[in-house]
């Protein structure tokens, strides 16, 4: 019997409870991925497989697995509470598995060798268990480790009993004929969907912080293609364990998610004001702008071409509703997208074209959620164009018949600025045939604007080229938060473009993403907080 995946319904509660946990072991949560959140599951050490034990005609089943360690005990902490210890370590019955068996013992053997008194003295409540997932002769062995206040850490080992050899994750992906691009796309979609499902009410953190957490989650999902803990499913999908960035629990949680690889989206199309938007069968979203009195007049100013299809970056959802309508005092054509989970996303089309990067803003969390309500709230089921107070707008139509004006959220969306971006940043860039230059970047709030100062200089040569201007938030993808910039150089000329910003622990990766290049580093450059 296979464990259910995508265990997300109880995670929001777990997120909130984690902040107040005072369980045994809080002072020594030595889990390798500290801060992982619980995802539920079966008792540690029990065994599961995709096929019933004994059903395979060649005998590839759990009879080939014994336990090298089987420890279940408990102790009382200083408060008289009972703390559980459960450690179950598997051993594969195959000559070729000696190295794998030893590696498992190397990781957990020291923990398993502790005495009752050791656990009690260290107040160490810990669970280590395993699961088996079979695909013919291939065993995918999932190891879990969990301590109080944290969710499980996952390791996956693959072993082919017919060949009597271990199989690396990369080798298995090659055998399954899964390309890196296909896997990266699927992982990002699953990570985004899982993140949105948990944080859709918008209550856990401010919008700008949720945007940064989502961007970090997407970056981690894209990076996971190089070292992915996963196992294959009979339907062609994968079950994978992805790191999700959260506002609590030390910042990261490892979630078990189902990863469909062959995506078949519902084909959708909408047209308005000479703009046509299509959701293709592979889930990509394209915009086609036809010639018209308005579009022809604006194409030179905003940088798009009539008659050309553009793919919108950052679209990870399964979409069921589309609407293009003018929103705000500038009547900017805006695309609204509704996911099958009720999340609203949007793209301010002309603004995105102006900065040279057509990108999805990402979800508007908390749409229609009444203040003070923690239970069920009305869900978005449709869009309706209309007129708000002195401006054109779009309403989110809720399943109870009520409407939610989206204009304010859209008009202020460009001001999103996570705290982690603000400050002074520096990096050194070496160009072929020239001296290393120093790049400095200042990002500072100024009312509703975000000021940007970018300086490219050559230390000791008296060369310094400053650019000053403003940032506007556009959206996100797996490279980071995407900001459009308009800056003026010392020659009085403007640079208009887009760059991805991804801050991580005192550093920030800056990657050119479209339009005029401000940073002469196509693959990006890591800045350090100054």
Identify the bridge partners of residue 426 per DSSP, sorted by sequence position. 440, 528
pLDDT at 39: 35
Q: Tell whether 4 is covered by a domain.
A: no
Residues 43 and 101 in one domain: yes
Cα–Cα distance, 67 to 44 (Å, whole number) = 13
Say yes or no: 45 and 142 in one domain. Answer: yes
Q: What pLDDT score was predicted for residue 51?
A: 41
CA distances from 203 to 164, 247, 364, 365 (A): 51, 11, 12, 8
**pLDDT higher at 222 or 411:** 222
Place of tokens 């959206």: 475
pLDDT at 250: 57
| Tokens representing residue 322 in the block | 């589309």
The whole-angstrom separation of Cα 223 and Cα 416 is 25
**pLDDT classification of 478: cutoffs 50, 70, 90:** very high
SS3 170: helix
Residue 3 lies in a domain: no
Instruction: State both tokens at 334.
Output: 């805006």
State whether 160 and 240 are in the same domain: yes
* Confidence (pLDDT) at 5: 37
On whether both 407 and 424 belong to a single domain, the answer is: no
CA distance 509 to 512: 10
Does one domain contain both 252 and 272?
A: no
Q: Which residues are within 8 A (CB) of 188 and not within 5 positions of it... i.e. 6 or more apart?
A: 218, 221, 222, 316, 478
Length of the chain as a residue count: 530
| Residue 432, pLDDT above cutoff 80 | no
In a domain, 172, yes or no: yes
Residue 219 lies in a domain: yes
- Residues 359-369, mean pLDDT to the nearest whole number: 88
The pLDDT, as a whole number, for residue 15 is: 43
- Residue 260 predicted with pLDDT over 80: yes
Containing structural domain, residue 506: 419-529
User: Domain boundary at 412, 439, 455, which?
Assistant: 412
DSSP letter for 56, please.
S
Query: How distant, in Å, are the alpha carbons of 206, 346, 360 from that of 212?
Result: 10, 17, 14
Asked if residues 360 and 284 have their Cβ atoms less than 8 Å apart, the reply is: no
264 Cβ contact partners less than 8 Å away, ≥ 6 residues apart? 281, 282
Residue 249 lies in a domain: yes
151/79 same-domain check: yes
d(CA 525, CA 440): 12
Paired tokens of 270: 């909408």
Residue of higher predicted confidence among 54 and 29: 54
The reply to whether 1 falls in a domain is no
User: What is residue 3's predicted lDDT score, i.e. its pLDDT?
Assistant: 35
Pairing of strands 332-339, 138-146: unpaired
**Residue 376 has what pLDDT?**
73
Find the CATH number of the domain harbouring 515: 2.40.128
The residues near 349 (Cβ < 8 Å, ≥ 6 apart) are 275, 287, 324, 332, 333, 334, 335, 358
**Same domain, residue pair 332 and 195:** no
List all residues 6 or more positions away from 4 whose beta carbon is below 8 Å from its beta carbon: none
pTM value?
Answer: 0.87
* Closest to 298 in 3D by CA, of 255, 332, 340, 258: 332
Same domain, 204 and 292: no
Q: How far is CA 94 from the centre of its chain?
A: 38
Q: Which of 219, 239, 259 is the last residue of a domain?
A: 259
pLDDT digits (tens, 9 = 90+) for 183-214: 999 999 999 999 998 888 888 888 899 999 99
406 contacts 418 by C-beta, under 8 angstroms: no
The first and second tokens of residue 494, run together, are: 């403007």
Distances from the Cα of 225 to the Cαs of 20, 186, 188, 222, 300, in angstroms?
34, 10, 10, 6, 40
pLDDT band with cut points at 50, 70 and 90 for residue 37: very low
Mean pLDDT of 53-76: 82
Question: Which token pair is 364?
Answer: 């508007």
Do 331 and 187 sit in the same domain of this protein?
no
Q: At what angle do helices 180-199 and 11-18 cross, to 10 degrees?
A: 70
pLDDT at 412: 84
C-alpha 158/C-alpha 145 separation (Å) is 18
Overall number of domains in the chain: 3
Sequence-ordered list of residues with C-beta below 8 angstroms from that of 50, at least 6 positions apart, any chain: 2, 133, 134, 135, 233, 234
- Asked whether residue 73 falls in the same domain as residue 161, the answer is yes
Specify whether the backbone of 433 is left (phi greater than 0), alpha (psi in -120 to 50) or beta: left
The answer to whether the beta carbons of residues 499 and 508 sit under 8 Å apart is no
Does the CA dihedral 412-348-362-513 come out positive or negative? negative
Per-residue pLDDT band for 146 (boundaries 50, 70, 90) equals very high
Residue 276 maps to a domain: yes
Which residue(s) pair with 345 in the sheet? 337, 363
CB 129 within 8 A of CB 82: no
Query: Within this chain, do residues 187 and 229 fall inside the same structural domain, yes or no?
Result: yes
Q: What is the secondary structure of 242-292 as a DSSP string? A: EEEE-SSGGGEEEEEEEE-SS--PPPEEEEETTEEEEE-TTS-EEEEE---
**pLDDT at 351 (0 to 100):** 86
My answer on whether 324 and 465 are in the same domain is no
Rounded CA-CA distance 515/82 in Å is 61
pLDDT in tens, 494-510: 999 999 999 998 999 99
Out of 237, 259, 281, pick the residue that ends a domain: 259
Q: How far is CA 69 from CA 18, 141, 288, in A?
A: 30, 16, 62
Q: Is residue 195 part of a domain?
A: yes
């Amino acid at each position: 019997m296979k464990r259910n995946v995508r265990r997300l319904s109880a995670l929001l509660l777990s997120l909130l409870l984690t902040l107040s946990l005072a369980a045994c072991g809080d002072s020594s949560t030595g889990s390798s991925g500290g801060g992982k959140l619980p995802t539920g599951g079966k008792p540690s050490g029990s065994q599961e497989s995709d096929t019933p034990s004994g059903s395979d005609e060649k005998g590839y089943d759990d009879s080939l697995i014994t336990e090298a360690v089987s420890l279940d005990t408990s102790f009382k902490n200083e408060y008289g509470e009972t703390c559980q210890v459960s450690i179950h370590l598997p051993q594969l019955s195959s000559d070729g598995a000696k190295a794998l068996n030893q590696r498992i013992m190397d990781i957990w053997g020291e923990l398993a060798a502790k005495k009752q008194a050791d656990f009690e003295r260290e107040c160490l409540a810990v669970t280590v268990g395993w699961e088996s997932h079979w695909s013919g002769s291939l065993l995918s062995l999932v190891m879990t480790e969990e301590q109080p206040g944290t969710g499980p850490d996952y390791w996956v080992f693959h072993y082919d009993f017919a060949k009597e050899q271990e199989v690396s994750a990369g080798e298995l992906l090659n055998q399954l004929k899964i390309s890196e691009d296909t896997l990266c796309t699927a992982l990002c979609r699953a990570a985004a969907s899982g993140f949105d499902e948990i944080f859709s009410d918008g209550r856990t953190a401010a919008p700008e912080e949720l945007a940064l957490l989502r961007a970090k989650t997407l970056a981690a999902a894209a990076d996971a293609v190089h070292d992915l803990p996963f196992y294959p499913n009979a339907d062609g999908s994968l079950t994978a364990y992805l790191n999700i960035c959260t506002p609590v629990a030390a910042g990261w949680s490892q979630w078990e998610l189902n990863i469909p690889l062959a995506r078949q989206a519902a084909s959708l199309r909408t047209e308005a004001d000479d703009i046509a938007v299509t959701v293709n069968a592979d889930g990509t979203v394209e915009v086609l702008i036809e010639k018209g009195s308005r579009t022809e007049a604006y194409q030179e100013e905003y940088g798009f071409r009539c008659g050309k299809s553009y793919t919108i970056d950052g679209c990870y959802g399964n979409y069921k509703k589309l609407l293009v309508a003018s929103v705000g005092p500038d009547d900017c054509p805006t695309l609204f997208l509704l996911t099958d989970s009720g999340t609203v996303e949007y793209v301010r089309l002309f603004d995105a074209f102006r900065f040279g990067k057509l990108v999805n803003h990402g979800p508007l969390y908390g749409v229609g959620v009444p203040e003070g309500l923690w239970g069920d709230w009305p869900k978005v089921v449709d869009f309706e164009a209309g007129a708000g107070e002195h401006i054109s707008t779009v309403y989110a139509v809720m399943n109870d018949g009520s409407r939610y004006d989206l204009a304010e959220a859209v008009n202020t969306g460009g001001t999103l600025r996570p705290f982690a971006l603000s400050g002074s940043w520096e990096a050194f860039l070496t160009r072929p045939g020239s001296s290393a230059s120093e790049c400095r970047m200042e990002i500072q709030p100024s009312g509703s604007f975000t000021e940007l100062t970018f300086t490219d200089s050559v230390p000791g040569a008296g060369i310094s080229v400053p650019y000053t201007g403003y940032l506007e938030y556009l959206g996100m993808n797996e490279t980071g938060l995407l900001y459009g910039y308009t800056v003026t150089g010392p020659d009085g000329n403007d640079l208009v473009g887009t760059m991805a910003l991804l801050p991580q622990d005192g550093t920030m990766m800056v990657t050119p993403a479209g339009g005029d290049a401000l940073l002469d580093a196509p693959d990006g450059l890591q800045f350090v907080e100054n």
